Amino acid sequence: MAYNSPYKWASAERAAMSDERRTVDLSTVRDRAEERDDIDVDENVLAAIEDRADDGRIALDAFTEWHRECRAAHDSTAADVDAVESEFEALREGLDPAERDSNQVRSRVEEYRDQFDAMRSALATTAGRLDDTPERPASPAAVYEAGAQLRRAERVVHEVAHSLHHVEEGVESFETWLDDPAARIDALGEEMTGFERYLDNTESLLDRLEGDDTEGMRPFGAWLSAYHLQRMMALVFDELHADVDELETWLERRDGTYVDEVAALRDRLDALEDRHETCSERLDSAAADIEGFAAKRTEVADSVAEFEAALDEQEPPVDWGEVEELVQSQFSELGLQVQR
């Protein structure tokens, strides 16, 4: 095995880093990065460094400028997030206390606050990354590492700015929703449509279980998937009833009459509950035809119990994004699939 003298290595590093021009040879950056066991070379990073190079070499001054650009973009985006969040909180504070504490308003407020928290967290991580990134890297390998950090910072800041655009549009819609009866009625109807899709999935699974063509299907797995969706849907109805009641009370304080619209929402909710009850009956019937059902059910009893306990801990306004993640995590743990 050849002996690599540390003095020889240091000499090579000095040769690659021109003292006269303070530039770095791009081919050396690639070579040194590929030699490092702790670096997974990304061609996109090398391309980003090359974009700032001249005639095969990158000046360290160019890195300093890149770093400043990243910092400026970060600070500008952070200020934009703060501005939109301040407008949102001012909108919330301007509401009547009873309105502010209603289930539907609280649900939307918490949703937007979670999004603001996520953006601020991403920006804080990026700020720390920029603090740790040298403006003038000291070696070709450090040039690659700094480039990777700056490119990642650029990407995160861009993603946050993109998310903020959508949040800002959402806040504008929220402001309209606060005062527009039609917007509130449509929003609750769309929410019901979303839950109908869960019942569609459940019924599709049950159709396969009850049908003659079960090739390639694991009957107990299909049953367990349907059971989880049913259990999740049981959480829905109390909240939807409360939402319809809240909406009806709110509409009564507005000009005009919305009796028919509220009645239509209640009819849809009743139909959902009827479908849910029918699915529960079909689940019970299907279980009797699954070979070894009792033993298989026992094997997953602890996991199912934990899932049900997590659902029972949910309190209005329910965070349906969190419930969706809980369902997906449970399906992943048990190797189940949801039909889409």
Q: Verify that 6 and 16 share a domain, yes or no.
A: yes
In this structure, the answer to whether residues 31 and 127 fall within a common structural domain is yes
Amino acid identity at 254: R
Can you read off the two tokens belonging to residue 245?
């009641």
Residues 127 and 250 in one domain: no
First-residue to last-residue Cα distance in the chain: 58
Is there a contact between 249 and 323 (Cβ–Cβ < 8 Å)?
no
Rounded Cα–Cα distance for residues 110 and 93 (Å): 14
Of 151, 178, 205, the one marking the end of a domain is 178
pLDDT tens per residue, the chain (340 residues)? 444 444 344 444 554 554 445 889 999 999 999 999 888 989 999 999 999 999 899 999 999 999 999 999 999 999 999 999 999 999 999 999 989 999 899 999 999 999 999 999 999 999 999 999 999 999 999 999 999 999 999 999 999 999 999 999 999 999 999 999 999 999 999 999 999 999 999 999 999 888 876 666 789 999 999 999 999 999 899 899 999 999 999 999 998 999 999 999 999 999 999 999 999 999 999 999 899 999 999 999 999 999 999 999 988 888 888 898 999 999 999 988 654 4
Residue 23: strand, helix, or coil: strand
Q: With beta carbons less than 8 A apart as the criterion, state whether 45 and 153 touch.
A: no
Choose the final residue of a domain: 178, 206, 230: 178
Q: Are residue 29 and residue 42 in the same domain, yes or no?
A: yes
158 vs 80: CA distance, rounded Å:
12
Specify the amino acid at residue 174: F
Q: Which domain holds residue 102?
A: 1-178
Residues 163 and 189 in one domain: no
Read off the amino acid at residue 288: A
Per the structure, the count of domains in the chain is 2
Which pTM value belongs to this model? 0.81
Distance CA 246, CA 137 (A): 60
Could you tell me if 243 and 260 lie in one domain? yes
90/209 same-domain check:
no
188 domain residue, yes or no: yes
Q: Is the Cβ–Cβ distance between 144 and 27 less than 8 Å?
A: no
Regarding whether 314 and 222 lie in a shared domain, the answer is: yes
Does 280 reside within a domain? yes
Last residue of a domain, one of 118, 145, 178: 178
Whether omega for the bond prior to residue 317 falls within 30 degrees of 0, making it cis, is yes
- Say whether both 192 and 330 belong to one domain: yes
Same domain? For 20 and 137 the reply is yes
Regarding whether 156 and 209 lie in a shared domain, the answer is: no
CA distance 130 to 74: 9
HSE value, Cβ hemisphere, 13 Å, CA-based, for 157: 23
Q: Are residues 119 and 206 in the same domain?
A: no
